[in-house]
Structure 1
């Protein structure tokens, strides 16, 4: 199975200066519990976007695992069945 690369450009980002941390902090409106600190605005945004890719991919994997378990199948069996139905 190929690596899942979620589309992260459709989210709402904000990069601000944190006086407390003395770094820029990037946040995402759709995932308010996530943030990334860095010394530059670009590094803060890029760090958050990479973390968001990982979080979304993990969420998708967990969702597939739940569906597989509900149907009494291994994750591999479930994915193969879904791919062959497509």
Structure 2
């Protein structure tokens, strides 16, 4: 596993008036900096330190999202009336409910 495989983001924080570096796999970590480059560099260093600490203490290290395997399936609970409407919509379009839902989720 490489630290480069984690999902990093840099965004602007109006509250702090600085860029904030984030890592999706470590939601409690962030790094504020004047430039996006410094925010990314800072959060990457912080993640490296945390991973090293976790390993040193024999604790589990989060798996990068990019390395996880996905089944392509998930369950969603919706109200019965919405279920009915979607089934009707799928039937009118001549597609399965699964295909209709996939298309809607894809935007």
Q: What's the TM-score, normalizing by structure 1? A: 0.65
Q: Which residue of 1 aligns with 2:15?
A: 20
Q: CA deviation at 1:8?
A: 1.1
Q: Which residue of 1 aligns with 2:3?
A: 8
Larger Rg, first or second structure (1 or 2):
2
Gaps of 5+ in 1: 1-5, 65-86
* Structure 2 Cα separation of the partners of residues 57 and 8 of structure 1: 10
Gaps of 5+ in 2: 60-107
Q: Which residue of 1 aligns with 2:51?
A: 56
RMSD: 1.4
- 1:29-40 map, 5 Å: 29-40=24-35
Provide the aligned length of Structure 1 versus Structure 2: 59
Give structure 1 regions of 4+ aligned residues with deviation exceeding 2 angstroms.
none
More strand by share: 1
Residue by residue over 1:39-72, the C-alpha shift from the partner in whole angstroms, topping out at 9 and shown as x without a partner, is 00000000000011000000000008xxxxxxxx
* Structure 2 Cα separation of the partners of residues 48 and 19 of structure 1: 18
